[in-house]
Amino acid sequence: MADNARAKRLADLIREVVAQKLQRGIKDPRLGSHVTITDTRVTGDLREATVFYTVYGDEEERKAAAAGLESAKGILRSEVGRAAGVKFTPTLTFVADALPDTARTIEDLLDKARESDAKVREAATGASYAGDADPYRKPGSSDETDDTAE
């Protein structure tokens, strides 16, 4: 079993090699400049690597990019093996990164919260307290009763 530092270095190398090869070496039109490699993770035994990617575009372009990455998997793996110089080149698995969708969902939720806060702020303007402005008893005030006499 390899140490975590070695797996991390290999993951970083795989991310760089795959990104450079996609940018310069692969002539597949489905893998244009709209594919971005976001993260890479390697198992502890350095046998399998998961490459996370995002695609700038609509759902059709995402499907085309996934098919293009699947077809270029062999070329990318051989390039990784050449650059890494390890005994066994890890198998590559490409996974669409859910980060942009998650970020979009969070932004929508934050927008709803801002709208709700604005409605509460609007309802609170000009409102008065239900009781006194300061509902707490103060020591020495005249309305204080002696509960211990009973």
pLDDT tens, 62-111? 888 888 888 888 888 988 988 888 889 899 999 988 877 788 899 999 99
* Beta carbons of 4 and 26 less than 8 angstroms apart: no
If DSSP codes are grouped into helix, strand and coil, which group holds residue 74?
A: helix
DSSP reduced 3-state for 17: helix
pTM above 0.85, yes or no: no
Give the span between the Cα atoms of 28 and 46, in whole angstroms.
Answer: 28
At 2-21, the pLDDT tens digits run 578 888 999 999 999 998 88
| Residue 60: half-sphere exposure toward Cβ, Cα within 13 Å | 0
Determine the straight-line distance between the first and last CA of the chain, rounded to whole angstroms: 77
